[in-house]
A and B are shown apart, each in its own frame.
Chain A
Amino acid sequence: MTSLGLAWRTAWRYRARTLLAVAGVAIIGALLFDMLLLSRGLLASFADLLDSEGFDVRVIASEGLPAMRVPIPGSADLADRIRGMSSVRDLALIRMERARVRRGTDRPRVVTLVGRTQSDIGPWTVVKGTNLPVSARLKARAPSPDPSAERGASAEREASAERDRDCPVVIGRNLATAFALEPGSSLEITATPAGVASALPSVVCRVVGLVDFSFAGVDEYAVATTMDAFEAIAAEPNHGDADLILVTSRAESGGGAAAARAIAELRPDLRVYSNEDVVEQFNRNGFAYFRQISFVLSSLTMSFAFLLVATLLTVSINQRLGEIAALRALGLGRRRIAAMLLWESALLVGAGALLALPLGGVLALLLDHILRQMPGLPERLHFFVFEPRALVIHAVLFIITAAAAAAYPVWLTTRLPIAATLRREVVG
């Protein structure tokens, strides 16, 4: 009989303790697997969220919280210069303001109002209806050399500007639910700029689509519109400066990092970040707690799994010293006994580690649900994200644990004096 066969028979003979040991390893393994998912989960999810926008460079006036952003001086001119760079494919100007939305006699809601110059890609996904129309101001930046085509384009721009004045908006799903809004519904928006006393008139806007905002919090109400409509709501006589410029770079010109460097050279007074820079900064500051807790708990769970299996094997071997001495007396070599114990450890740890994967998946959903209740967290951000590397680390750690847990029992049995043990067992 092979060492694996002997190990299997031992496990089968002591079914209750085997099952309990496997259950213990599975539960601890599930926690370890979850900590591995957590160790990079938030970072991977955040990077995915940034990449899903389609922009890879962000330009802001100063560091700080998004709510405390200050306008970028001369943003329109800067946008023209950035658009002319060979490493840049596209860009969007973003403005944000606090506003109040009212519909009928319902209680008004405070919303984040977003105005942007471009609509084909963006930090939202249309779930119902249509996207915002392309801004008239954006179209005005691309004159045609053909006079007849230019006349047609001019008419189209006027029609587009008319549509912008109509104040088309896309709204988040929670605002749609709160006011029972559908594409085609209308609502009144009043800008309430922070820090200044204002009594601006309401503007009636038309909902063109329901969207999922990438960065909107679970309990946040958000509304986006074209830049012209935004300025109409804010009652601004002139074009205001943007709070944020989003840029899409050309991969063939060096990607986001090269574009960010070039833009930073244009305006050294501004903060320019590629997506990699943002993720790196997030990794250094916002993510530190979860990286630490993941490291501490991974270490603890591995120690716990090692202690569990090593103790069970040692106690089990102490019970079976006579049996092992008899096997040795029958001619089984030390290596075979050692191999049998290693297989026993591998069976306990392997079965537990395999069970830990589905168990860890379910537990990750539960823990993710708990952590995502944090206030102000983007709805699409997750803490536990599966990556193949987590599976590889999980397997490697458990192989090391199985080998380490079997080390002491193996040492014990290979040094076992056969005759003395058999005599002690018989006399005992």
Chain B
Amino acid sequence: MQWACHNPSMVMFVAAMACAIALDAAPDVLVSRQLAARAHLTVGETVTLAADADGARARTFRVAGIYEPTPDPMRFTAQRIEGRMHLPDLIALTADPHDPASTESVNTINVALAPGIDARRFIADLASQAPGVAGAPTARSRGDDPFAVLDRFHLAISAVTVVGSTAFLLALMVIRAEERRDTIAILRMVGISRRSLLTSVAVEGLVIAIAGAIFGVALAFATEGLVNRIFQTRYDTALVFVRVTPALAWRAVAVAAPLGIAAGLAASWTLLRRNILSLFRR
């Protein structure tokens, strides 16, 4: 039948009419982009679906469209081989003929509450009126959200990286301060105060840190698309893995600036606290 439907020029008028009637009668199904790619499906084709593994009680559907599944971070490694159809069609396909109740049963009911209604209160009311029905709010609390835990994990790793970077920056500033030992000695000799020198070092540290932070943010922004493309290709998903937001950029600069100033001051203080003669190695 499918062969005939796809080769209308090869069949007689009567068969073509039968095909047209069959296609008109076939209910619609939407298939995910991944399923369409794997099964080489196009819009308008007819497909046969069955709930039983042996193909019993199969029904014919027409592919009405191909959709991109809503990205789900909880299932980003799962292959989204799926389709969507109208509920009566699904029930007709999956209902157990020996169980009359199966045509009146659904797995889940999604409820959108009116503004101002407390979800937990609603669930409690529902449980008292319909024993055996379990309700759950779709919004996760901070305590049962795995992404809140991952957020804390990333924050801890960031903190360790910042501490390591600070040691790196401090070592560089110490070398730089040593390089300018003679210059500092001369500046002190001509009467420039410790405070002025410290201020100049602090400003230098601030400029270096902010420049570094801006470079880091720019690098992250520039590579954001590449990282997303790699992971989206790897997992065949539209999920966005990395997003550099203005808040994140500001946070990076806000952390880097005081650290840069502190590193500059700490490195220079070892030279500035000495007397002028010792700076000249006398």
A residues whose Cβ falls under 8 Å from a Cβ of B = 16-17, 20-21, 23-24, 27-28, 30-31, 192-199, 269, 284-286, 288-289, 292, 297, 304, 308, 311-312, 315-316, 319, 363, 366-367, 370-371, 373-375
Contact = CB atoms under 8 A, between A and B. Distances in A.
Contacts, number: 92
B168 A308 contact: yes
A373 B146 CA distance: 8
Given A24-B167, A285-B78, A366-B156, A197 B172 contact: no
B173 to A, nearest CB: 9
Contact of B160 (A288, A311, A363, A374): A363
Nearest to A372: B149
A36 B76 CA distance: 23
A29 to B, nearest CB: 9
Interface string B150-187: 00110011001101110110111011101100000000
A196 B156 CA distance: 44
A292 B234 CA distance: 11
B131 interface: yes
Contact of A304 (B76, B156, B164, B176): B164
A374 B149 contact: yes
B130 interface: yes
A127 B172 CA distance: 55
Nearest to A284: B77
B143 interface: yes
A15 B212 CA distance: 26
Nearest to B53: A269
Given A21-B167, A24-B167, A289-B76, 13 more contacts: A17-B174, A20-B168, A20-B170, A21-B171, A31-B161, A193-B132, A198-B131, A198-B132, A297-B157, A304-B168, A319-B178, A371-B149, A375-B145
Contact of B174 (A20, A195, A197, A308): A20
B144 A375 contact: yes
Contacts of A197: 130-133
B134 interface: yes
Contacts of A17: 171, 174-175, 178
Interface string B79-123: 000000000000000000000000000000000000000000000
B137 to A, nearest CB: 14
B177 to A, nearest CB: 10
B73 to A, nearest CB: 9
12 contacts: A20-B168, A20-B171, A24-B165, A27-B160, A28-B164, A31-B160, A31-B161, A304-B161, A304-B165, A367-B156, A370-B152, A374-B149
Interface string B46-63: 000000010000000000
B199 interface: no
A366 B163 CA distance: 16
The residue in B53, B130, B171 that gathers the most chain A C-beta atoms within 10 A of its C-beta is: B171
B118 to A, nearest CB: 20
B167 A316 contact: no
What interface size band does chain B fall in? 35 or more
B200 interface: no
A367 B172 CA distance: 29
A184 B156 CA distance: 45
Contacts of A308: 168, 171
A43 B25 CA distance: 50
Contacts of B172: 311-312, 315
Nearest to A22: B167
The residue in A28, A193, A199, A288 that gathers the most chain B C-beta atoms within 10 A of its C-beta is: A28
B256 to A, nearest CB: 15
A319 B179 contact: yes
B146 A375 contact: yes
Contact of A367 (B157, B168, B176): B157
Given A196-B132, A363-B160, A371 B153 contact: yes
A195 B108 CA distance: 10
B2 interface: no
Nearest to B130: A197
B120 to A, nearest CB: 15
Contacts of B130: 197
B161 A312 contact: no
Contacts of B145: 375
Contacts of B167: 20-21, 23-24, 27
B164 A370 contact: no
A285 B77 contact: yes
Contacts of A194: 132, 134
Contact of B175 (A316, A363, A366): A316
B270 interface: yes
A319 B163 contact: no
B156 A375 contact: no
A193 B163 CA distance: 52
A198 B132 CA distance: 7
A315 B176 CA distance: 9
B175 A312 contact: yes
B132 A195 contact: yes
A319 B175 contact: yes
Nearest to B178: A319
